[in-house]
Amino acid sequence: MIPDLATAVDQTLKLPHIDYLSILPELILLGGALLVLLVSSLRRRMMTPGAAAGWTVLISGAALIAALVQWHEVSAHGPKVEVAGAVAYDGFSVLVNVLVSSALILTALVAEGWLQRERMAGPELHVLMMVSAMGAMVMGAADDLIVVFLGLEILSISLYVLAAFNTRRAESGEAALKYFVLGGFSSAVFLYGIALVYGATGTTNLPQIANFLAQNVILHNGLLLAGIALLLAGFGFKVAAVPFHLWTPDVYQGSPTPVTGFMAAVAKVGGFAALLRVFVSSFGLLRADWQPAVWVLAALTLLAGALMALVQRDIKRMLAYSSINHAGFVLLGLEAATSRGVSSSLYYLFVYTFMVIGAFAVVGVVGGQGDSRHDIDNYRGLGSKRPWLAASLAVLLMAQAGIPFTTGFLAKLEVISAAVAAHSTVLAVVAMLSAGIAAFFYLRVIILMYVPTQPDDGAVALPETDDLGLPRFAMAGALPGTLDASAHAAGLEGAGVTADSSAGASSDAEAQDADVVPAEVVPGDVTPADVVPVGVAIAIGLCLAVTVVFGIAPGPVVDFAHKATLLF
């Protein structure tokens, strides 16, 4: 099955025919990113504050339009394989393009407000986001494991830098470093998985893998299955599935809030797109082998995400765990491994993107200068102080909790019914239970916003969880050289309540620790004087509109996801 060398050489010498429309959104984002970078290097003055954001919105808008043209084209002529089999050009990839470019527009609007508040000049932020988004698009379109890896790295490396973007906050750097170290680790695992699959099938091309599996019965497919396991682990890291999720809360908390929103939306979309495509189309025949593994991952992800979110005081950490819980729901669709499952997963990703970007946009505003106000107490009474912000967050959180007349409800319903249709009843029950647990922490924030007299968490939350602050940041563990024995002992034996205090940056980490700094000490409260930048307001408004309008009239999005799956 190994293609003979002559053909391979031949292909490398001969340029493949490329239908540029099939990769147009990616090209637009890449070209746009380079253009902005170039202009800001050569003509710094042209990049007045806001200009980069404007450019980004325009460029991603162009990418969105290109994606819509692609949709038209794909609907008319059906799916195709382009660029010598490296890229799939189908409904699925186009949906990812649409989603990623929409997310990019929203994030650019949100990020600009953040940049100006933090007094940072940074076309680089926008450039990196465009590049990262392009990586996600590549992952969605990749029809070859190598291309998947390429997209993954484009996406991730930009995200590492983005996470570190706030150079004034040590947590930002810490988040980036953790993300980078663990990301590198899991990329290696992923790459090894590719190697094993190649070894077993002789190809990295997804359709060819599927063909190979269809035509050959492998008696001892340990190599292939090991490869699949490693690929699953690699994807699991990217989409934050338990137990590969541990980076998520730290990184979400440390990163600049707009980046967190972007990361939560785009990285997950890219990761899940590739995961769905690889597993359902290439390894579809082996589903009996990997379904139980995904089952366990999904169940763990659903439950751990919900349970851990319960005990968080920091809203960004809470949303991080909530995004882990959401990942579990998307995994339900994969576990079903049916076209209905895929379409419900796509639908879930679609609506999730808008809910999560909107929620993090509000969190960014409330967080204030220096991202300092993320304690749940900062939301106390927000309903009367900032009625619009509070109402927006309330709607977005209710959508995440899956309350009817929001997109979140139908999304949960779709994945759960797909799971039930695929006879994964127990998993569906687990998902519903986790949604029940999750409702608690979403509603807790809403109650705090509207019932400020609510006694401190004791009554709302769980009475015995008084130690809500854990050493969320222990830089020492991440930095070689500070790994002294005391820190080691403290970290391991302190039953999770000791902050590593030996490292330079850990003073900050200590301050984050609610054991050390009690919850009542809230560094400034949100005031009516905090203006919501226009861009942020527009972004929140768009997210709300999508969440509510498509929650009431879900037809178009459901059709979109369904057709995208049909043209797969």
Partner 1 sequence: MLHVAYLMPLLPLAGFAVLLLVGRRMGDPWAGWLATASVTGAFVVACVVFAGLLGRPAGPDREFTQILFTWIPVGALQVKAALLIDPLSMTMALFVTGVSALIHLYSIGYMKDDKDYPKFFLYLNLFVASMLVLVLANNLLFTFVGWEGVGVCSYWLIAFWFERDSAATAGKKAFIYNRIGDAGFLVAMFLIFDKTGTLDYRGVFAHLGAFGPGAATAVCLLLLLAAAGKSAQIPLFPWLADAMEGPTPVSALIHAATMVTAGVYLLCRMSPMLALSPDARIVIASLGAVTAFVAATIACAQQDIKKVLAYSTISQLGYMFLAVGTGAYEAAIFLMVAHAFFKGLLFLGSGSVIHGLDGEQNLKRMGNLRRYLPLTFVTFTIAWLAIAGIPPLSGFWAKGDILDNAFARFPALWAIGLVTAALTAYYMSRLGALAFYGGDRWEEALSGKGGNGGATGHAHSPHESPVVMLVPLVVLAFLAFFGGALALPWHPSFDPLGWLAPVFGSALYNAHLTGSTEWVLGVVDSVVALGGLGVAMRLWVRNPERPELEPVFLAKSWRIDDLYDAAIGRPGASLARFTAVVIDDQVIDGAVRGIARLTGATGAGLRRIQTGFVRQYALWIVVGVVGLLAFMLTRAWP
Residue with smaller CB distance to partner 1, 40 or 434? 434
Q: Which of 71, 89, 160, 244 binds partner 1 (CB under 8 A)?
A: 244
Name residue, tokens 């819509």. 68
Q: Which of 163, 233, 263, 362 binds partner 1 (CB under 8 A)?
A: 233
Residue whose C-alpha is closest to residue 405's, from 545, 551, 556: 551
**How far is residue 337 from each of residues 216, 285, 452, 559, measured CA to CA in Å?**
21, 10, 45, 19
- What does the block give as tokens for 312? 């968080």
| DSSP letters for 252-308 | HHHS-HHHHHHIIIIIHHHHHHHHHIIIIIISGGGHHHHHHHHHHHHHHHHHHHHHH
Q: How far is the CB of 46 from partner 1 (least distance, A)?
A: 41
> By CB under 8 A, is residue 237 in contact with partner 1?
yes
**Which are the contacts of 303, defined by CB distance < 8 A and separation ≥ 6?**
328, 430, 433, 434, 437
Q: How far is the CB of 396 from partner 1 (least distance, A)?
A: 23
Residue with smaller CB distance to partner 1, 224 or 561? 224
Residue with smaller CB distance to partner 1, 369 or 486? 486
Q: Which of 25, 236, 256, 368 binds partner 1 (CB under 8 A)?
A: 236
Q: How far apart are CA 206 and CA 488, in angstroms?
A: 44
Residue 217 has a CB neighbour count (10 Å cut-off) of: 7
Query: Of 37-66, which residues contact partner 1 (CB under 8 A)?
Result: none
Q: Which of 226, 413, 421, 447 binds partner 1 (CB under 8 A)?
A: 226
Q: How far is the CB of 182 from partner 1 (least distance, A)?
A: 6
Sign (positive or negative) of CA dihedral 210, 211, 212, 215: positive
Q: How far is the CB of 381 from partner 1 (least distance, A)?
A: 24
Residue with smaller CB distance to partner 1, 112 or 500? 500
> By CB under 8 A, is residue 517 in contact with partner 1?
no
Residue whose C-alpha is closest to residue 568's, from 411, 358, 369, 341: 341
**Which are the contacts of 212, defined by CB distance < 8 A and separation ≥ 6?**
1, 201, 202, 203
Query: Of 418-477, which residues contact partner 1 (CB under 8 A)?
Result: 437, 440, 461-465, 467, 470-474, 476-477
- Binding-site string for partner 1 from residue 73 to residue 92, where x marks contact by CB under 8 A and - marks none: --------------------
Which region, judged by CB under 8 A, interacts with partner 1, from 120-128, 217-225, 370-378, 540-548? 217-225
Report cis status (omega within 30 of 0) of the bond before 523: no
Q: How far apart are CA 327 and CA 312, in angstroms?
A: 18
Half-sphere exposure of 156 (CA within 13 A, CB side): 24
Residue with smaller CB distance to partner 1, 244 or 379? 244
Q: How far is the CB of 307 from partner 1 (least distance, A)?
A: 4
- Binding-site string for partner 1 from residue 534 to residue 563, where x marks contact by CB under 8 A and - marks none: ------------------------------
Q: How far apart are CA 340 and CA 418, in angstroms?
A: 6
Residue whose C-alpha is closest to residue 300's, from 239, 230, 225: 239
Which region, judged by CB under 8 A, interacts with partner 1, from 130-138, 150-158, 221-229, 365-373? 221-229
Query: Of 135-194, which residues contact partner 1 (CB under 8 A)?
Result: 177-178, 181-182, 185-186, 189
Q: How far is the CB of 508 from partner 1 (least distance, A)?
A: 12
Q: How far is the CB of 263 from partner 1 (least distance, A)?
A: 17
φ/ψ bin of 241: left (φ > 0), alpha (ψ from -120 to 50), beta (otherwise): beta
Q: How far is the CB of 497 from partner 1 (least distance, A)?
A: 9
**How far is residue 473 from each of residues 172, 276, 411, 504, measured CA to CA in Å?**
11, 33, 34, 12
Q: How far is the CB of 475 from partner 1 (least distance, A)?
A: 8
Query: Of 480-509, which residues contact partner 1 (CB under 8 A)?
Result: 491-492, 495-496, 499-500, 509
The kind and range of the H/E element at 511 are helix 506-512
Residue with smaller CB distance to partner 1, 465 or 507? 465
Question: Does residue 388 sit in helix, strand or coil?
Answer: helix
Q: How far is the CB of 458 from partner 1 (least distance, A)?
A: 12
Q: How far is the CB of 221 from partner 1 (least distance, A)?
A: 6
Residue whose C-alpha is closest to residue 335's, from 449, 260, 415, 404: 415
Q: How far is the CB of 181 from partner 1 (least distance, A)?
A: 5
Contact yes or no for 99/349 (Cβ under 8 A) = yes
> By CB under 8 A, is residue 310 in contact with partner 1?
yes
- Looking at residue 209, its amino acid is I
Residue with smaller CB distance to partner 1, 39 or 218? 218
Q: How far apart are CA 410 and CA 423, in angstroms?
A: 20
- Looking at residue 275, its amino acid is L
Q: How far apart are CA 187 and CA 157, in angstroms?
A: 11
Q: How far apart are CA 513 and CA 511, in angstroms?
A: 5
Residue with smaller CB distance to partner 1, 311 or 511? 311
Residue with smaller CB distance to partner 1, 146 or 218? 218
Residue with smaller CB distance to partner 1, 92 or 279? 279
Applying CB under 8 A, what is the total number of residues that bind partner 1? Answer: 59
Residue with smaller CB distance to partner 1, 213 or 418? 213
Q: How far is the CB of 517 from partner 1 (least distance, A)?
A: 16
Which region, judged by CB under 8 A, interacts with partner 1, from 33-41, 232-240, 354-362, 403-411? 232-240
Sign (positive or negative) of CA dihedral 116, 118, 121, 125: negative
Query: Of 246-305, which residues contact partner 1 (CB under 8 A)?
Result: 246-247, 249-250, 289-290, 292-293, 296, 304
Q: Which residues bind partner 1 (CB under 8 A)?
A: 177-178, 181-182, 185-186, 189, 220-222, 225-226, 228-230, 232-233, 236-237, 243-244, 246-247, 249-250, 289-290, 292-293, 296, 304, 307-311, 437, 440, 461-465, 467, 470-474, 476-478, 491-492, 495-496, 499-500, 509
